[in-house]
């Protein structure tokens, strides 16, 4: 059975047995090529569910709207880490989710009305091909050889001069239209009032201008420091193609170096910025 067929069968079983109230999966988008999230409430609709290399959304985001109902959810390996993150942060309960984990072949680059066969950059260096948490696993677990350099993109950026970095980020941030799709697509961005929406004090001005855009983009990334699970949902939804993963992955790399921590692997492990060791040496004020 293909992955799609297995997902359909499982979703049908979960809905028929009333174990879940809804299954969140993917269906074909209106361009006939991409995928889009689908909420299945009725077993007869399960045959619309699909799974392939265009299924780019991190559906875990939607669990935040369904905290009190039991939900079935289709997750890729990176998405599954978001479940651990949200359990760790007491946002969702493990017994309220039935996780249909799918072994991921990596996503292909897609655009509206276009799909290719080239893997996304993030997926080429991904080391997580099997979900870290699931109730049912679809596909054969895969082990991936870690690449020699897990952060080639970040290393490239680090090597630039101060002026080059400033120029690069200014150019990137100047395109931002502050639609906040990056925040809305992120499973880790769930504050009831985001710092950027605060009116009093107004931390970030309302201007859609380079200075405010920079403030927004840098602080968004930093708030996910040690929490970003690397699903890249933010970058994939950006309408003006700002390379947000360069920011996220820099923090991920530093968190790894400083605290030997990767987010979303263990629902019990304390988060690096919410913990400390009394005698640690971190290169600050020493």
Partner 1 sequence: MSKFISKKDLNSWLNKVREKRRLIAPTKVEDLVLFKEISKVEDIVSDYVNTDLSPKEFFFPPTEVLFSIAKKDGGVELTPARVEKETVIFGMRPCDAKGIIALDKPFLEEPTDPLYREHRDKTILVGVACLKACPECFCSSMGGGPDDPAGFDIMLTEVKDGYLVQVLTDKGKALMPDSMLSESKEAKPKAAEVAKVPAEGVNVRLRQNFDDPYWGRLADRCIHCNMCSYVCPTCYCFDIRDYPNKGKSDRVRSWESCQSAGFTKIAGGHDPRANKGIRMRQRFAHKLLYFPEQFGVSHCIGCGRCVKSCPVNIDIREIISDVQKLGAKGE
Partner 2 sequence: MAVEYQPRIVGFLCNWCSYAGADSAGTARMSYPPNIRIIRVPCSGRVDPLLIVKSFQMGADGVLIAGCHPGDCHYTEGNYYARRRFALLRPFLEYLGIERARFQVEWVSASEGKRWAQVVTSFTNQVAQLGPRKLLVPEATR
Task: Confirm or reject binding of residue 256 to partner 2 (CB under 8 A).
Answer: no
- Does the N-terminal peptide bond of residue 201 adopt cis geometry, omega within 30 degrees of 0? yes
Q: Which of the ranges 4-12, 33-41, 254-262, 264-272 carries the binding residues for partner 1, by CB under 8 A? A: 33-41
Instruction: Report if residue 150 touches partner 2, rule: CB under 8 A.
Output: no
Min separation Cβ 248 and partner 2, Å: 11
CA–CA distance, 4 with 46 (Å, rounded to integer): 10
Q: Which is nearer to partner 2, 168 or 190 (CB)?
A: 168
Contacts (CB under 8 A) with partner 2, residues 205-244? 205, 207, 209-212, 214-215, 218-219, 221-222, 225-226
Contact between 125 and 152 under an 8 Å Cβ cutoff? The reply is yes
Closest distance to partner 2 from the beta carbon of 240 (Å): 17
**Which partner, partner 1, partner 2, none, binds residue 175 by CB below 5 to 8 Å per kind?**
partner 1
Alpha carbons 23 and 97: distance in angstroms, whole number? 10
Q: Which is nearer to partner 2, 134 or 216 (CB)?
A: 216
Q: How far apart are CA 173 and CA 171, in angstroms?
A: 6
Determine if 258 is a binding residue for partner 2 (CB under 8 A): yes
Q: Is 119 in the site for partner 2 (CB under 8 A)?
A: no
Q: Under the criterion CB under 8 A, does residue 197 sit at the interface with partner 1?
A: yes
Q: Which bin fits 285, alpha (ψ -120 to 50), beta or left (φ > 0)?
A: left
Q: How far apart are the first and last CA of the chain?
A: 59
Place of tokens 């605060």: 198
* DSSP bridge partners of 119: 108
Cβ closest to partner 2, residue 38 vs residue 157? 157
| Min separation Cβ 22 and partner 1, Å | 8
> CA dihedral defined by 93, 98, 104, 106, rounded to 10 degrees?
-60
Burial environment of residue 26 by CB neighbours within 10 A (0 to 12, 13 to 18, 19 or more): buried
Minimum CB distance to partner 2 smaller for 62 or for 168: 168
The answer to whether 251 contacts partner 1 (rule: CB under 8 A) is: no
Using CB under 8 A, which of 255, 262, 263, 264 touches partner 2?
255
Binding-site string for partner 1 from residue 81 to residue 110, where x marks contact by CB under 8 A and - marks none: ------------------------------
Among partner 1, partner 2, none, residue 165 binds (CB under 5-8 Å by kind): partner 2
Binding site for partner 2 (CB under 8 A): 157-158, 162-170, 173, 195, 202-203, 205, 207, 209-212, 214-215, 218-219, 221-222, 225-226, 247, 250-251, 254-255, 258-259, 272-278, 280, 282-285
């Amino acid at each position: 059975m293909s992955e799609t067929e297995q997902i359909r069968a499982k979703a049908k079983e979960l809905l028929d047995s009333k174990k879940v109230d809804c299954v969140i999966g993917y269906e074909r988008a209106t361009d006939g090529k991409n995928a889009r999230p689908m909420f299945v409430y009725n077993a007869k609709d399960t045959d619309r569910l699909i799974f392939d290399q265009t299924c780019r959304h991190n559906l875990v985001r939607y669990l935040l709207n369904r905290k009190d109902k039991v939900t079935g959810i289709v997750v890729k390996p990176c998405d599954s880490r978001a479940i651990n993150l949200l359990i760790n942060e007491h946002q969702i309960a493990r017994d309220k989710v039935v996780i249909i984990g799918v072994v991921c072949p990596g996503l292909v680059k897609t655009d509206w009305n276009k799909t290719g066969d080239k893997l996304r950059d993030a997926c080429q260096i991904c080391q997580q091909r099997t979900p870290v948490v699931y109730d049912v696993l679809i596909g054969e677990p895969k082990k991936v050889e870690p690449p020699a350099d897990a952060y080639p993109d970040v290393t490239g950026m680090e090597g630039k001069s101060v002026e080059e970095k400033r120029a690069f980020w200014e150019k990137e941030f100047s395109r931002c239209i502050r639609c906040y799709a990056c925040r809305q697509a992120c499973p880790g961005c769930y504050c009831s009032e985001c710092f950027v929406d605060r009116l009093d004090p107004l931390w970030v001005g309302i201007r859609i201008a380079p200075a405010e855009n920079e403030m927004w983009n840098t602080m968004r990334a930093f708030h996910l420091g040690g929490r970003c699970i690397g699903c890249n949902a933010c970058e994939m939804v950006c309408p003006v193609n700002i390379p947000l993963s360069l920011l996220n992955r820099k923090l991920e790399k530093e968190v790894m170096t400083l605290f030997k921590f990767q987010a979303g692997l263990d629902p019990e492990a304390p988060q690096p910025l919410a913990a400390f060791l009394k005698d640690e040496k971190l290169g600050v004020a020493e």
